[in-house]
Amino acid sequence: MECKENVIHYLSWGFIVSGVAYLLQQTRTQTPYGRYVTSDGTPGRTCPAKLAWFLQELPSFLVPMLLLLSTDTQPSLGKDLLLWTFCLHYFQRTFIYSLLTKGRPSPLYIVFSAVVFCSVNGFLQGHYMLHCATYDDAWQTDIRLGTGLLMFFLGMAINIHSDHILLNLRKPGEVVYKIPKGGMFEYVSGANFFGEILEWCGYALATWSLPTFSFALFTMCSIGPRAYHHHRYYQEKFEDYPRSRKALIPFIL
């Protein structure tokens, strides 16, 4: 398949513009998810958490894999990076995390929006890495590749460990929120968000391209404000919440 350069270009800039717009929107209104969902008593407007996570994350894994399986591609660094970073992350989120989550039901329109985004992004990342990205032999020893992969896997470890802490905060049947402790939560309120942002910044650095940068920026703009919302929630709810803990970036923000 030929590289669809114009499609890649427009989708990448679309992510950048929409990411900034979404960031600005979240400074005025709060996206209704998790603890911020308000029930109006109307049935059929939400989706169970486990199913919601599975449905909304699946396209990010499935679309690149379908592109890979339907294309006769030669072994390449772009293909390896796609499989062992992007697809690896979404395999964990789709088939492992979705079974473990104990979150609240998600509004259907949030699930639908996530499915659309993940489908488009799955195509963007998959098509670019399989059919457009070219890396010469020198890239394999480039500091950007090594540093980016280190950031990615460190971020993935932080993300998974932080989710593990959150999943085990409450005993079966409990619905109250507690202060998360341990790991990166000793430094930031949004440790899971910090880990995921670090992942995609590392992915963008290792691949050094507009499509991967646009996805990393969109991630920062979409989940970065959630860390701030959580931080403010904890500060208002718990009088003994650690004053030294930041919202998203350790010691800084």
Confidence check: pLDDT of 42 > 60: no
**What are residue 106's DSSP bridge partners?**
47
Confidence check: pLDDT of 23 > 50: yes
- Count CB-CB contacts under 10 A for residue 215: 24
Q: What are the DSSP calls for 134-203, one per residue?
A: ---GGGGG-HHHHHHHHHHHHHHHHHHHHHHHHHTSS-TT--------SGGGGTBTTHHHHHHHHHHHHH
pLDDT tens string 173-217? 666 778 899 999 999 999 999 999 999 999 999 999 999 999 999
> pLDDT: is 244 or 74 the higher one?
244
* Residue 29 pLDDT class (50, 70, 90 cuts): confident
Confidence check: pLDDT of 43 > 50: no
pLDDT tens string 143-177? 999 999 999 999 999 999 999 999 988 777 666 77
Quote the tokens at residue 54.
Answer: 């599975």
Query: What pLDDT score does 72 carry?
Result: 75
